[in-house]
Structure 1
Amino acid sequence: MSISANRSRIDPGIARSWLLVPANRPERFTSAADGAADVVVLDVEDAVAETGKTLARANVLAWLRAGGQAWVRVNGTTTAHWATDLDALADTPGLLGVVLAKTESAAEVDDTAARLPAGTPVVALVESALGVEAALEVARASATLRLAFGVGDYCRDTGASKDPLALAYPRSRLVVASRAAGLGGPVDGPTLAVDEAALVRETQLAASLGMTGRLSLRAEQAPTLNRLLSPGAPAVAAARGVVAELGEDGARVRDGSDGPRLAGAKKVLALAAALAGHPAP
């Protein structure tokens, strides 16, 4: 049941692919953990019907206690399952962090963290108009590692379509809030379509807005997500060229445009270095 000892974990602050695995499908846990996804999230929330949550939670606990390691998506604070989820996970080894569903305030993040071992990171999943409006407050909560965007529930809550233009505002708001709070880029919602073209198109759109990770419902999508959300060879080469041109310390900066160019190049190279142990296919 345990994760392969050869699989090193990527820093979740820069993780690209976040694979959601239904907690009522325990036969998928180990293969998911040994796959290409940067982060595996065992899902006891939307992936599980009300009548199946007790068994799903037991599946998660059994796997973690047997040596598995994963994140867990827990139910929102307004549900009866939230406290039960956290009480069960509080003394469970192998828990790497939690994704908090339907986050709408910093207090919800704080209350969640308070029920878990000190230092347990929380990814706040924003899925409503209220959550989007509170994005900066949520991002500044001490336990918040990153923000994530729950596209489906946001559209249900607001009546917005899934057209990219309709979702540009909430995505951008999460990007700005994340940056203002000093967090890594937010994690976008999943591509529901099976075809690769849709996955590529939607991931490139998310990246263009400043999002640096994506949720996924299919293990086979992870290599594409990792590739598209990593600095490619051309970007790294261009960044090295800028540093060579302007100097590591900016000694050859000539005008007001060079400073931002150099800072951007250094950011690309730093990310590439951080991901060096986890090359994208």
Structure 2
Amino acid sequence: MLVPASQPELFDIAQQSRADAVIIDVEDAVAANEKQQARKDTVEWLNSGHRAWVRINDASSDFWSEDCAALSKAEGLEGVMLAKSEGRSHLSDTADRLPQGTRILALVETARGIEHVEEIAHSNETFRIAFGTGDFRRDTATGDSELALAYARSRMVIASRAARLPAPIDGPTLNRDKLLQGTQHARDMGMGGKLCLNHEHTGIINDSLAPSHEDIGWAHGFIKAFEASGGAITDGSDLPRLARAQRVVQQAADFRIHVDAAEVGHNDY
């Protein structure tokens, strides 16, 4: 969940939501003449026992150096989201200005970023990739339909997988009426998370990204049947289905979803 750094009264609200991570935004959510105070408020909050990520300004901006300098003194910094990541040097230069080991979430939101997404994904400094849909649409004059953004999403998913990174994080869906569909589409595209700007959206996103009880029941049942058979391979679909079942079980563990044995149905192993 992204929270404007200029509104510190929202920090605690975001932290109490169902968001997996709070990202304090000192980039687009803060006007230029408010950035200094926003940085100060952010660092003070992070040094008072709280933990969060911070979205910093892009490496080519006038504010990037000051962002890095201020956050190097923030004890509760989980990591930074680097706006408009467009190449390996943006990641490495940022890492050089932050405490060693600081995680960097590369926000890809321009045409240049998409063209260099493989390079970004394979950068040693990249922790994960996220999609900045709003700025990408502005940069490319692309519409907001699923089809219009499918190529960019696919590039990120493939690059992340090839670099052995976690699945990328999709951009926010601002319209609550379209949030469920947007989250399900992101999941179908292979993305593993979604940004949001409203604490009321976090529950919908988590429930939509989590595997259903039916999927979890199938996964446990398939694995049980496969193991009971001694791992016998009947056709070429067995190993892919086993991999999918194992992935669903891991996702269920990540979301802390438990399925009773009675819910595990019959499988067509």
Amino acid at match of 1:260: P
Instruction: Classify the secondary structure of the residue corresponding to 2:22.
Output: strand
Say whether residues 1:87 and 2:32 are aligned partners: no
Say whether residues 1:231 and 2:190 are aligned partners: no
Look up the match of 2:178: 198
* Superposition deviation, residue 60 in structure 1: 0.2
Amino acid at match of 2:102: T
Say whether residues 1:37 and 2:19 are aligned partners: yes
Instruction: Classify the secondary structure of the residue corresponding to 1:93.
Output: coil
Look up the match of 1:261: 241
* Superposition deviation, residue 145 in structure 1: 1.3
Say whether residues 1:132 and 2:114 are aligned partners: yes
Matches within 5 A, 1:1-281: 19-193=1-175, 195=176, 197-247=177-227, 251-276=231-256
Segments of 4+ in structure 1 off by > 4 A? none
Higher RCO (CA 8 Å, separation ≥ 6 residues): 1
Instruction: Classify the secondary structure of the residue corresponding to 1:52.
Output: helix
* Superposition deviation, residue 249 in structure 1: 9.3
- The answer on whether the counterparts of 1:86 and 1:112 sit within 8 Å (CA) in structure 2 is yes
Instruction: Note the alpha carbon deviations across 1:187-237, whole angstroms, 9 max, x for none.
Output: 1110111x3x31001001111000110110100100111111112211111
Distance 2:3 2:55 in 1: 9
Distance 2:152 2:228 in 1: 36
Specify every segment of 5 or more residues in structure 1 that has no aligned partner in the other structure, as ranges.
Answer: 1-18
Instruction: Note the alpha carbon deviations across 1:78-109, whole angstroms, 9 max, x for none.
Output: 00110100011112100000000000001111
Alpha carbons of structure 1 residues 217 and 138: separation in structure 2 relative to 1, 3 Å: same
Distance 2:119 2:257 in 1: 33
| Length-normalised TM-score, structure 1 | 0.89
| Length-normalised TM-score, structure 2 | 0.93
Q: Percent identity?
A: 46
Distance 1:48 1:257 in 2: 51
Distance 1:104 1:236 in 2: 38
Alpha carbons of structure 1 residues 60 and 234: separation in structure 2 relative to 1, 3 Å: same
- The answer on whether the counterparts of 1:175 and 1:186 sit within 8 Å (CA) in structure 2 is yes
* Superposition deviation, residue 248 in structure 1: 7.9
Distance 1:161 1:134 in 2: 21
Distance 2:182 2:19 in 1: 18
Instruction: Classify the secondary structure of the residue corresponding to 1:55.
Output: helix
Instruction: Classify the secondary structure of the residue corresponding to 1:39.
Output: coil
Cα RMSD (Å) of the superposition? Answer: 1.7
Distance 1:203 1:229 in 2: 7
Alpha carbons of structure 1 residues 249 and 73: separation in structure 2 relative to 1, 3 Å: farther
Instruction: Classify the secondary structure of the residue corresponding to 1:225.
Output: helix
Distance 2:158 2:228 in 1: 27
Instruction: Classify the secondary structure of the residue corresponding to 1:147.
Output: strand
Amino acid at match of 1:45: E
Specify every segment of 5 or more residues in structure 2 that has no aligned partner in the other structure, as ranges.
Answer: 259-269
Distance 1:269 1:182 in 2: 19
Distance 1:97 1:255 in 2: 45
Q: Count the aligned residue pairs.
A: 259
- The answer on whether the counterparts of 1:72 and 1:99 sit within 8 Å (CA) in structure 2 is yes
